[in-house]
């Protein structure tokens, strides 16, 4: 794999093959190569002996059919994009570990999303969640009807944190590559913890909302100057972040949701919840999770 490649994980499922088609289209637009990876499933945590035995049998089967899975995915890509450089890898390293390792030099990681739930992440682990919380490059959990990116809007969550600024930069770049509009969403709520408001009757809520708008437009303008061809709009919503982002995505028929991750471990994300976790659970379009540069 050469540096800057788009990496996609495959397991023989329809979701993985569709994720491969999507990743190939991205690689073409970004002017890079595609690296298709097959690895053994993530073992997870707190499994019983019975579950461990079933997992072992599944992994043995996956090893036996790895070459068939990789060859099928590669043929699909080469048929549609004959000029695209494609490489493959089959490994016995658990899928989340190998993808996190490849993320160190990859442009992007794409996975055909397995179902992520709070309970599942807590008890067994999820490859998608594990990679999204640990990878150093953007991670896309592909799902939905579009097997290739479109020119529909890109929706990005911005809250001023380093991870959300990284998400904003990546969202602008993606929107430019696919001639898409960008929708930047900042969430805030008047329903704040009592400890956060000393004298609630003296709070100037209009001034606070104005400050939210100012911060968002400043952040967006900074990147719009770098990507002047992208038509960007700003939205400040009085709603929880995940709800605000999904509502905007539905309203605009968005093709991609982009959000930052603070890099919590799987257990913390499952217990505490996060915007990224909520989107991975409930969004019906691809979700890209970004972390700030180290």
117 and 163 in a single domain? The answer is no
95 and 154 in a single domain? The answer is no
| Domain region containing 227 | 149-294
Among residues 117, 91, 116, the alpha carbon closest in space to that of 102 is found at: 91
**pTM here?**
0.85
Asked if residue 289 has pLDDT above 80, the reply is yes
Angle at 123 between CA 269 and CA 96, to 5 degrees: 65
Give percent of the chain with pLDDT exceeding 70: 77
Q: Last residue of a domain, which of 117, 144, 171?
A: 144
Angle at 115 between CA 65 and CA 185, to 5 degrees: 130
156 and 267 in a single domain? The answer is yes
131 and 167 in a single domain? The answer is no
Stretch 199-223: mean pLDDT: 77
DSSP state of 201: G
182 and 124 in a single domain? The answer is no
User: pLDDT band at 292, cuts 50/70/90?
Assistant: confident
260 contacts: CB under 8 Å, gap ≥ 6 = 157, 159, 161, 162, 163, 164, 165, 166, 167, 276, 289, 290, 291, 292
Query: pLDDT by residue (tens digit) across 150-175?
Result: 999 999 999 998 999 999 999 999 99
Please spell the DSSP secondary structure of 167-193, one letter per residue. HHHHHHHHHHHTT--EEEEEE--S---
76 contacts: CB under 8 Å, gap ≥ 6 = 17, 20, 21
Stretch 93-114: mean pLDDT: 91
Integer Cα distance of 161 and 154 in angstroms: 19
24 and 62 in a single domain? The answer is yes
Asked if residue 176 has pLDDT above 80, the reply is yes
Integer Cα distance of 229 and 204 in angstroms: 37
195 and 256 in a single domain? The answer is yes
Structural domain count, the chain:
2
Query: pLDDT by residue (tens digit) across 34-70?
Result: 999 998 765 555 556 666 666 666 666 666 788 899 9
Q: Last residue of a domain, which of 111, 144, 177?
A: 144
Total residue count of the chain as it appears in this document: 294
User: pLDDT band at 286, cuts 50/70/90?
Assistant: very high
Asked if residue 140 has pLDDT above 80, the reply is yes
Q: Last residue of a domain, which of 118, 144, 170?
A: 144
Residue 206: predicted pLDDT: 67
Which is more confident, 195 or 9? 9
Stretch 174-188: mean pLDDT: 95
């Amino acid at each position: 794999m050469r540096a800057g490649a788009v990496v996609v994980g495959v397991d023989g499922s329809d979701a993985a093959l569709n994720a491969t088609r999507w990743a190939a289209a991205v690689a073409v637009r970004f002017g890079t190569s595609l690296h298709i990876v097959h690895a053994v499933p993530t073992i997870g945590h707190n499994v019983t002996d019975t579950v461990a035995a079933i997992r072992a049998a599944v992994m043995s089967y996956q090893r036996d059919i790895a070459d068939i899975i990789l060859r099928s995915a590669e043929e699909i890509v080469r048929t549609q994009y004959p000029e695209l450089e494609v490489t493959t890898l089959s490994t016995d390293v658990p899928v989340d570990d190998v993808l996190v390792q490849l993320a160190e030099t990859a442009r992007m990681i794409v996975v055909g999303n397995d179902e992520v739930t709070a309970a599942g992440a807590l008890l067994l682990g999820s490859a998608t969640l594990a990679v999204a919380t640990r990878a150093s490059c953007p991670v896309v959990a592909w799902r939905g009807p579009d097997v290739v990116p479109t020119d529909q809007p890109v929706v990005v969550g911005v809250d001023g944190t380093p991870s959300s600024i990284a998400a904003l930069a990546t969202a602008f770049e993606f929107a430019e590559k696919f001639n898409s509009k960008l929708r930047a969403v900042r969430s805030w709520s008047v329903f704040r913890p009592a400890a956060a408001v000393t004298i609630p009757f003296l709070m100037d809520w209009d001034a606070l909302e104005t400050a939210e708008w100012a911060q968002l437009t400043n952040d967006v303008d900074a990147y719009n100057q770098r990507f002047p061809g992208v038509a960007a709009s700003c939205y400040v919503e009085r709603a929880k972040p995940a709800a605000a982002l999904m509502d905007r995505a539905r309203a605009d028929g968005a093709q991609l949701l982009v959000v930052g991750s603070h890099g919590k471990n799987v257990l913390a994300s499952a217990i505490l919840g996060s915007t990224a976790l909520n989107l991975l659970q409930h969004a019906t379009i691809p979700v890209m999770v970004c972390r700030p540069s180290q």
